[in-house]
A and B are shown apart, each in its own frame.
Chain A
Amino acid sequence: MPEQRRRRSPLGVLSAALAYAGGEALAAFRRNGLMSAAAVTTIMVTLLPVGGAVALAANLRLMTTILERQVQVVAYLRDGISPQERDRLSAQVRALPGVRRVEFVGRDQALVRLQDALGERVSLRDVIETNPLPDSLEVALVNPREARPVADAVRQIGGVEDVAFGAQAVDRLLAVTGLLRTGGVAAGLLLGGVALIIIMNTIRLTIIGRRQEIEIMQLVGASPWYVRSPFMLEGVLQGLVATALAALVLIPGYILLLARARDVVPFLPLVHAPDLLPTLVVSLGLGGMLVGMSGSLLALRRFLHT
């Protein structure tokens, strides 16, 4: 029997290949129901803590950013300074590197603020007759870490009597926020790594369960990509389904927790659900797909040595 050589268009071959891979992946999903369910469940269960960690990290980041933004340098001005001089000073400070914003706070305004801070139990007017507070410039910073150099620079400017930036408090705050950040990233990486290993191992099991199929594919001369593609698609499919299921838990879970947290600690800055959840679910989905696919590829490597 002479081998017949047929001419085919590359597009035809590709579409046939895609149709084959898609059909096989779906069929495998149906046929190996139990294995697929196990893989999907495992991926979902591992995605949950990862999603939780990401949500926690996002909130920690928001909190630290807000806390750090409150770090500011206050320049107390000499008494009896003229409005022109005050504007000149303000401009000078604004021109310094590392300064985000400068706000003038007049002494009267400062007194009102102090009264607000003290609340209604104490009336300043009963205690003091004249306003002891100086005019001041409140300097917001680009980076809270630059509080000290900015304060030093402001102190050099004529007309500035004193500078305060809560040196010790800032140092402590920065230490804490730094720890929270690295801790969040480390926890995320750790959880992500564990999830990766578990997911890849699960996919490996489903592939080992079908090594007979792979063996026959190779025997009849399937090209390596023809062998891989259904398994890769299957991995992607598993990742997607698992993410969808994880989202079903994560989304209401976060919304519920958020409502709870707002009741208990209303002053805590928290990331609003619409700001976080879409990004979270999409990135988990992409991650799940990627892990599913690369898990399949890695697992296949053992069988594709040929």
Chain B
Amino acid sequence: MIRLQGVTKRYPNGLLALNDVSFSMAEGEFVFLIGPTGAGKSTLLRLLYRADVASRGKVSVAGRDITRLPARQMPALRRSMGVVFQDFKLLPRKTAYENVAFAMQVTGTPPEEIRPRAMQALEVVGLADRADALPWQLSGGEQQRISIARAIVHQPPLLLADEPTGNLDPRTSWEIVQLLSRINLRGTTVLVATHNKLIVDILRQRVVELAAGTVVRDEDYGLYASHA
């Protein structure tokens, strides 16, 4: 599903965010991308949803090389994945339902399909009954679940999450990770960048650890801290 080959990313200001990173993810996998702040986790995700372009190396998603993707094909790439952020990125003046429906409206979904699909996505995240609430009327965890509903409404084969629990308390964080895990069990490939030790250690999934822009560990059923 995802393959990075010798990827280096140097920002214009000279910062070396990723240094010769290679790693791949099979379809249906669940991977935690861990490491301290500044290790390059966000940059790696940004390369995957093409908010940034690798300086060197090759990035492919679903068998397609996206390193040199023409601008015309960007929308198709974005529709083939859902992205979730630490700060939810919900539109404050739209209700929960409208935020989810928005993702379909702006991608030209026929109007008669929007409502059933948006409601279905809200059901998956367990918030169908809060469809008419505005973001500020929802708790942080609920807001994150709305943003996850928005991310999966296109039924993408890939879900990327950048610190999805960064703004949440431990209990809510756990709920969010369980939700991501459930979505993974339905067949979606899930990549979660996090430095939340607790959820990594409980879930025991594959762990890829970045430090200063390089992969220092890649372990199945891993813990946040290495055994050594």
A residues with a Cβ closer than 8 A to B are 1-4, 6, 8, 12-13, 16-17, 19-20, 24, 31, 212-213, 215-224, 226-227, 306
Judge whether B108 and A223 touch: CB under 8 Å: yes
CB distance from A88 to the nearest CB of B (A): 76
In the complex, which of the residues B50, B111, B187 contacts A16, with contact meaning CB atoms closer than 8 Å? Answer: B111
Q: Which of A2, A4, A222, A227 has the most CB atoms of chain B within a 10 A radius of its CB?
A: A222
Judge whether A222 and B89 touch: CB under 8 Å: no
B residues with a Cβ closer than 8 A to A are 49-50, 71, 74-80, 83, 89, 91, 93, 102-103, 105-111, 113, 150, 152, 154-157, 186-188
CB distance from A77 to the nearest CB of B (A): 78
In the bound complex, residues from chain B placing their C-beta under 8 Å from that of A24 are 105
CB distance from B148 to the nearest CB of A (A): 13
Q: Considering only CB atoms, which chain A residue lies closest to B106 in the complex?
A: A222
Q: Considering only CB atoms, which chain B residue lies closest to A210 in the complex?
A: B91
In the complex, which of the residues B49, B71, B111, B157 contacts A3, with contact meaning CB atoms closer than 8 Å? Answer: B157
Judge whether B89 and A1 touch: CB under 8 Å: no
Q: How far is the CA of A222 from the CA of B77 in the complex (A)?
A: 10
Whether A31 touches B102, Cβ cut-off 8 Å, given contacts A12-B110, A221-B78, A221-B107, is no
Known: A4-B155, A218-B74, A224-B71. 7 other contacts (CB 8 A): A2-B155, A3-B154, A6-B110, A12-B110, A212-B89, A220-B79, A226-B108
Judge whether A222 and B111 touch: CB under 8 Å: no
Judge whether A8 and B110 touch: CB under 8 Å: yes
Q: Is the interface of A mostly helix, strand, loop or mixed?
A: helix
CB distance from A17 to the nearest CB of B (A): 6
Q: Which of B50, B93, B106 has the most CB atoms of chain A within a 10 A radius of its CB?
A: B106
In the bound complex, residues from chain A placing their C-beta under 8 Å from that of B187 are 1-2
Whether A220 touches B78, Cβ cut-off 8 Å, given contacts A8-B110, A212-B89, is yes
CB distance from B24 to the nearest CB of A (A): 21
Q: How far is the CA of A1 from the CA of B75 in the complex (A)?
A: 20
Whether A1 touches B155, Cβ cut-off 8 Å, given contacts A215-B89, A220-B103, is yes
30 A–B contacts, CB within 8 A, in A order: A1-B152, A1-B157, A1-B186, A1-B187, A2-B187, A3-B154, A3-B155, A8-B110, A13-B108, A16-B108, A16-B109, A16-B111, A24-B105, A215-B89, A216-B89, A216-B102, A217-B106, A218-B74, A219-B49, A219-B89, A220-B103, A220-B106, A220-B107, A220-B150, A221-B75, A221-B154, A222-B75, A223-B108, A226-B106, A306-B50
Q: How far is the CA of A223 from the CA of B157 in the complex (A)?
A: 20
In the bound complex, residues from chain B placing their C-beta under 8 Å from that of A20 are 105-106, 108
Whether A16 touches B75, Cβ cut-off 8 Å, given contacts A1-B155, A1-B157, A219-B83, is no
CB distance from A13 to the nearest CB of B (A): 5
In the bound complex, residues from chain A placing their C-beta under 8 Å from that of B105 are 20, 24
Q: Considering only CB atoms, which chain A residue lies closest to B159 in the complex?
A: A1
Q: How far is the CA of A223 from the CA of B106 in the complex (A)?
A: 8
In the bound complex, residues from chain A placing their C-beta under 8 Å from that of B109 are 16
Whether A306 touches B111, Cβ cut-off 8 Å, given contacts A20-B106, A212-B89, is no
In the bound complex, residues from chain A placing their C-beta under 8 Å from that of B78 are 218-221
In the bound complex, residues from chain A placing their C-beta under 8 Å from that of B156 are 1, 3
In the bound complex, residues from chain A placing their C-beta under 8 Å from that of B111 are 16, 19
In the bound complex, residues from chain A placing their C-beta under 8 Å from that of B106 are 20, 217, 220, 222, 226-227
Q: How far is the CA of A4 from the CA of B157 in the complex (A)?
A: 11
In the bound complex, residues from chain B placing their C-beta under 8 Å from that of A223 are 75, 107-108
Q: How far is the CA of A284 from the CA of B188 in the complex (A)?
A: 54
CB distance from A208 to the nearest CB of B (A): 16
Q: How far is the CA of A3 from the CA of B50 in the complex (A)?
A: 20
CB distance from A223 to the nearest CB of B (A): 5
Q: Considering only CB atoms, which chain A residue lies closest to B117 in the complex?
A: A4
Judge whether A306 and B89 touch: CB under 8 Å: no
